[in-house]
Structure 1
C-alpha cells in the first residue's frame, strides 16, 4: 500500500472477516490528536501557533531532516533532470508517437505529486520527542494487540515514523486506530468492519516508538 493516510484497518482475515487493512512499510511521524484528546501541540515547525491539532503531523527530527532533503532534491536536481528528459524527447519529433516524451511527462507528474505531498506534510509538521511511556495508545506508539483473534504489533501513526524497521503502520484515523486511541494495555474494544462485522481488539502493550 502507498497511500500516506493509511485510513484502513488491518488486512488480516479471521473467520472470514477482512477488516480492510492498510499495512505500510514504516518511516518518523504521527498525526496529533484533536484538541479534545489528552495531548495537544501548540507550535508548528516554524514556531507558528497551531490551533487545529487534528491537522498536525508529528515528526522525529530524523524524519523531518530526511523528508526536507528529499524535497530539496526533487525541487532542484529532480526538476532539472526531468525537464532535460522532456526536452530531449521533444527534439525527436512527432509527440503523438513519441513514447519517450510521454514517459517523461508521466514521470514529471508523479514527481510533482510527491513534491506537493512533501510540502503539505512538512507545512503541518511539528518536530518533537516521542510520546511519553505511559502505556496510553496515541500516534507514535508501538502497540501489541490481538485483533480479530490475531496477535500483532504495529505502529500507530503514518509511514514516516519507522522507515526500514518492517513495522506495520496504521493511521490513527483508520477503524482500528480510532478504536484504540486513548486506551491502555489491558483494555478491550471493538470496531465495525466495512462489511458490518464487529472486530474485537485487546490491547496488550503500548510503548513509544524508538529507532
Structure 2
C-alpha cells in the first residue's frame, strides 16, 4: 500500500477536526439520538431518523480521517527546496492567459483538499498539469468547462 502525501499543516488541521468529531460531535449526536428515542414511536419520528443519519455521517468522517491519517506520509513543505519548480506542497500563483485573472493554489494531499481554501488535490487535473513546471512556464489543462491556459507567475513553499 502506498502512503498518500499530506502537508504538515493539513495533517494538524485534520487531527484537530478528528478530535472535535470524537470529543464534541459524537457525544452531542448520541444525546440527540437518545432524546429523540425518548419521544416514542421510532417509525414516524423524524428527529430520531435525522439524528441517526447525522450519527452515520459523523462516524463515516471519523473512519475516513483515521484511515487517511494512519497511512499518510506527512511532508513539511517549509523544508522543501525545489526552488521555482512545482512539486507537492507548492503554493503557486497563476494568471489566466485568456482573462488575465490571478489565482493562487497550494497543491496538497487528496484528504486535505478544499477548493474554498484554494487547496487543490495533487491528483486533480490542474495539479497534475502543474507538477514539474517552473515559474514563468505556461501550461494548459482540461477543466470541466473547457481548456484553460495559465502562466505560472510565482512558486513558493510556505
Q: What range describes the TM-score normalised by the shorter chain of this pair?
A: 0.7 to 0.9
TM-score computed with the length of structure 2 as normaliser: 0.79
Distance across 1 between alignment mates of 2:12 and 2:144: 37
Distance across 2 between alignment mates of 1:192 and 1:63: 27
Distance across 2 between alignment mates of 1:65 and 1:142: 18
Query: Aligned-pair RMSD on alpha carbons?
Result: 2.6
2:52 counterpart of 1:101: no
Question: Which structure carries more strand by proportion?
Answer: 2
What's 1:89 paired with? Answer: 36
Which structure's relative contact order is higher, taking Cα pairs within 8 Å and 6+ residues apart? 1
2:65 counterpart of 1:132: no
Which of 6, 9, 18 aligns to 1:71? It is 18
Per-residue Cα deviation, 1:89-136 (whole angstroms, up to 9, x for no partner):
112111122122112112102211210221122022223321325111
Kindly report which structure 2 residues correspond to 1:39-54, keeping only aligned pairs within 5 A, or say none: 52=2
What's 1:56 paired with? Answer: 4
Give the 3 Å change call, closer, same or farther, for CA 114–148 of structure 1 in structure 2.
farther
Distance across 1 between alignment mates of 2:38 and 2:117: 46
What's 2:122 paired with? Answer: 172
Cα deviation, residue 77, structure 1: 4.7
Question: Which structure carries more helix by proportion?
Answer: 2
Provide structure 2 residue ranges, at least 5 long, that are not aligned to the other structure.
none
Which of 69, 80, 92 aligns to 2:27? It is 80
TM-score computed with the length of structure 1 as normaliser: 0.61
Kindly report which structure 2 residues correspond to 1:8-19, keeping only aligned pairs within 5 A, or say none: none
